[in-house]
Structure 1
Amino acid sequence: MAHYFEESPEAAGRPGVVTLVLPDLHLRLETDSGVFSPGRVDPGTRVLLEAVPPPPEEGDLLDLGCGYGPIALTMASRAPRATVWAVDVNRRSVDLCERNARSAGLDKVRPVHVDEVPDEIRFRAIWSNPAIRIGKQALQEMLTRWLDRLTPDGAAFLVVQKHLGSDSLQRWLNDQGWPVVRLASRSAYRVLRAGARPVEAR
């Protein structure tokens, strides 16, 4: 069975279009088979985008697991002077995100494979609907890799379904030194805010 977190999906292309309508923007997004939630903007993504505070106006921001780009494009729309790195392991997703950013005229979105972000980049904000289904260990390794690239005043905002382990993830983040608060709880989803952890805790 194919998964949206594979690097090169084998599923035959089935191009489509979804719309993302929020109080402050309206985006038309190209989608395709083999990517996350191609038929509609995922409800968790919508909960995240409705709950997060405005992103920092400048600096480097990250959409971790960008899919076809609803989170990255929202970040870029709300912070037009910031650079938004949109990363995914799925190259079909990265290509779609790039096309969608171009169509929306958001030229400060940088859609790239996860291994193509320069090592020196540090993020003032991370927004993510993380791929819980990759497994607990892989998820923890992924979050450690990227949350440790937060600036000292940065924060990560993660949306997780309650029944897929949001409470255990919150405990793990706290145990690892990222101070976590639950920002919102709605429609079976929780939005967690994790602050940067001290260097000595890494």
Structure 2
Amino acid sequence: MAHYFEERPRTRKRPGTVELVLPDVHLRLETDSGVFSPGRLDPGTRVLLETVPEPPQRGDLLDLGCGYGPIALTMATRAPEATVWAVDVNRRAVELCARNAATARLDKVRSVHVDEMPPDVRFAAIWSNPAIRIGKAALHEMLTTWLGRLAPGGVAHLVVQRHLGSDSLQRWLNEQGHPATRLASRSGYRVLRVESRA
């Protein structure tokens, strides 16, 4: 079975489009098979984008697990002076996100494979609908790596389905020294606000 978190999806390409419609954002995004939620805006992503506060207006921002780009492009629209890094392990997703950013003329989006992310960049904010289905150990390793790159005072917002372990993830984050609180709860999803380590 193919997964959207494979580096090179083996599924045959089936191009499509998704309309991203929020009160302040309206974009038509190119999608394809082999990436996360190619047929519609994932409801968790919608909950995240409708509940997070405005991102920092300057500095480096991160969309962790960018897919075809709805989170990164929303960040870039809301913070046009910031540099938005859109990272994913899936190379098809990275390419789609780059094309969608170019089409939308959001030229401060940097869509890169996780292995190509410059190591010295620190983030003022991270927004993510993380790939919970990669397994707990891999998820914890991923979050430890990227949350460790929050700048002092930086904040991450993560959306996680309640029945896929949002409450246990919140406890784990607190145990790791990343203060985590629930910002919102809607439609079976939790949005967690996660602070950088002191």
- 2:181 partner SS: strand
- 1:78 alignment counterpart: 78
Q: Which runs of 5+ in 2 are unaligned?
A: none
1:50 is displaced (CA, Å) by 0.3
> Which residues of 2 match residues 56-75 of structure 1 at below 5 A?
56-75=56-75
- Percent of aligned positions that are identical: 77
Number of equivalent positions: 198
Q: Deviations over 1:113-168 (max 9, x none)?
A: 01111111000000000000000000000000000000111000000000000000
1:87-130 deviation per Cα after TM superposition (whole angstroms, max 9, x unaligned): 00000000000000000000000000011111110000000000
CA distance in 2, matches of 1:41, 1:25: 13
Shift of 1:25: 1.1
Q: Does 1:173 align with 2:198?
A: no
Hey, what does 2:147 align to over in structure 1? 147
TM-score of the aligned structures, taking structure 2 as reference length: 1.00
In 2, the alpha carbon distance for the partners of 1:52 and 1:192 equals 10
Q: How big is the shift at 1:22?
A: 0.3
RMSD, aligned CA = 0.4
1:43 offset after TM fit, Å?
0.2
After the TM superposition, which residues 180-191 of structure 1 pair with which residues of structure 2 at under 5 Å, given as runs?
A: 180-191=180-191
Deviation at 1:86, TM superposition (A): 0.1
Separation of aligned partners in 1, 2:113 and 2:127: 16
Separation of aligned partners in 1, 2:119 and 2:31: 29
Deviations 1:151-202 (A, max 9, x none): 111000000000000000000000000001100000000000000013xxxx
Query: Could you say which residue in structure 2 is the equivalent of 1:52?
Result: 52
Aligned counterpart, 2:117: 117
Whole-angstrom CA distance in 1 between matches of 2:119 and 2:33: 31
Q: Give the equivalent residue in structure 1 for 2:196.
A: 196
Residue 32 of structure 2 corresponds to 32
TM-score normalised by the chain length of structure 1: 0.98
Partner-residue secondary structure (3-state), 2:13: coil
Within 2, Cα distance between the matches of 1:86 and 1:54?
A: 17
* 1:19 matched residue in structure 2: 19
